[in-house]
Amino acid sequence: MQHKPPAQPDPGLSADSSHSPDQRIGPNISTRRRQLLQGAGAMAGAAVLAACGQQAERGSDSAEQPRRRWKMVTTWPRDLPGVGSGAQRLADRIGELSNGRLQIELYGAGELVPAFEVFDTVSSGTAEMGHGAAYYWKGKIPASQFFGSVPFGMTAAETTSWLYYGGGLELWQGIYRPHGVQVFAAGNTGVQMGGWYNRPIDSSADLRGLKIRIPGLGGEVMRRLGANVINLPGSEIFTALSTGVIDATEWIGPWNDLTFGLHQAAQYYYYPGWQEPGSTLECLINAKAWNELPANLQAIVRIACQSITLDIHAEYTSRNQQALQTLVGEHGVELRQFPEQVLAELRKTSAQVLQELSESDPDSAEIYASYQAFLRNVREWTAKSEQVYLQHR
């Protein structure tokens, strides 16, 4: 079954070819300079023709290269906005960039394997590729939780900086290597929302006994503050919230939450998403399949993952602001910020949970040290750049 991704705006990465060099320089150009430029233009034209010739040759070569067909299993329902549709777009993009030499067929959660078996399926090679989020593998690799999202941790932009220019990606690849899995970042949701509550949270005492769906480290923080934490897959959230099985839930943000209809099941919509301030998504690749790829296909996969990271984050930012307006303007949702005292308690408890996780195994210790060191430095820069700028915009 073919899935056509929605039309995508050009994110502005393509070079501006609408002006020739002559047009940019203007009409006062000297004759000698114009001749030189025309000469250069002719040379550039010859180079383009030569490159086209090489491309044609390579094209005929590549037609003889084996065409690979890979399976991609995902932790998301097929076409779930953002995460699921983003995974499909990544698969399509790799096929397009490789001119069909590497074609990826996507399987949504439960179509080939259940969501939480994605990592093992890629590790064993039953599927060559997977798309998910690292904190799903905490039972197998506790340190993976630092690569999903960290409560009160780095934003999407800061996390990407740590991964690409702070040694984070190498650490991430290091903990998956013993499992025969290669990994790249492949998406980010940006800051999530705090979630939907059927009773107001005026102080941290109101968290006691609260039945809430919240996974991962955020769930552990809530549990320590007295909440009754319940884990549910996304598909069961609406019914559980509307029937009172749970009093509250976090999911992702306005775009996804509106799609789920959560505004019909709870009264208050709290922010910010302290539990997931910038959740990174991941592309998993079976190590043997990865090592068998020629270098140019490896480059295509790597760069497609980088491009989808930018793409998914950009789409979340755009769709979230539209959906928030719909939730408030059309559905009368009551937006509330968590009180300072609640955020302070959540932050204090998060630090304790992270410290204990870092002491639980050597990988977690090493990764948390790297994460903390990067955060310590980058927050100084963020405070003096985006933070103060945004306060005064």
Interface with Ca ion in residues 112-131 (CB under 5 A)? none
Residue 155 CA to residue 189 CA, distance in Å, equals 10
Minimum CB separation of residue 329 from Ca ion in Å reads 24
Whichever of 92 and 276 has its CB closer to Ca ion, that residue is: 276
Whichever of 166 and 219 has its CB closer to Ca ion, that residue is: 219
Minimum CB separation of residue 219 from Ca ion in Å reads 10
Q: What Rg, from alpha-carbon coordinates, does the chain have?
A: 24
Residue 343 CA to residue 323 CA, distance in Å, equals 25
Minimum CB separation of residue 323 from Ca ion in Å reads 15
> Closest Cα partner for 40 from 13, 17, 21?
21
Whichever of 250 and 315 has its CB closer to Ca ion, that residue is: 250
Please give the backbone phi and psi of residue 283, each rounded to the nearest 5 degrees, phi first.
Answer: -110, 120
Whichever of 250 and 282 has its CB closer to Ca ion, that residue is: 250
Minimum CB separation of residue 184 from Ca ion in Å reads 21
CB 309 within 8 A of CB 168: no
Minimum CB separation of residue 251 from Ca ion in Å reads 6
String of DSSP letters for 293-353: S-HHHHHHHHHHHHHHHHHHHHHHHHHHHHHHHHHHHTT--EEEEPPHHHHHHHHHHHHHH
Dihedral of the alpha carbons of 194, 199, 203, 206, in degrees to the nearest 10: -110
Interface with Ca ion in residues 209-268 (CB under 5 A)? 250
Whichever of 166 and 215 has its CB closer to Ca ion, that residue is: 215
Whichever of 158 and 276 has its CB closer to Ca ion, that residue is: 276
Whichever of 156 and 304 has its CB closer to Ca ion, that residue is: 156
**Helix residue ranges, H only, the chain:** 21-25, 31-64, 83-97, 118-124, 156-165, 168-176, 216-224, 237-242, 254-260, 287-292, 295-329, 340-358, 362-382, 388-391
CB 144 within 8 A of CB 175: yes
Whichever of 290 and 316 has its CB closer to Ca ion, that residue is: 316
> Closest Cα partner for 257 from 330, 320, 200?
320
Total of residues contacting Ca ion (CB under 5 A):
3
Minimum CB separation of residue 61 from Ca ion in Å reads 46
Q: Which residue has the tokens 């930012």?
A: 317
- Contact status: 276 vs Ca ion (CB under 5 A): yes
Minimum CB separation of residue 250 from Ca ion in Å reads 5
Interacting span for Ca ion (CB under 5 A) from 257-265, 270-278, 287-295, 353-361 = 270-278
Interacting span for Ca ion (CB under 5 A) from 20-28, 34-42, 108-116, 275-283 = 275-283
Residue 73 CA to residue 282 CA, distance in Å, equals 12
Minimum CB separation of residue 253 from Ca ion in Å reads 8
Q: Show the binding pattern over residues 176-205: x = contacts Ca ion (CB under 5 A), - = does not.
A: ----------------x-------------
Q: Applying CB under 5 A, which residues contact Ca ion?
A: 192, 250, 276
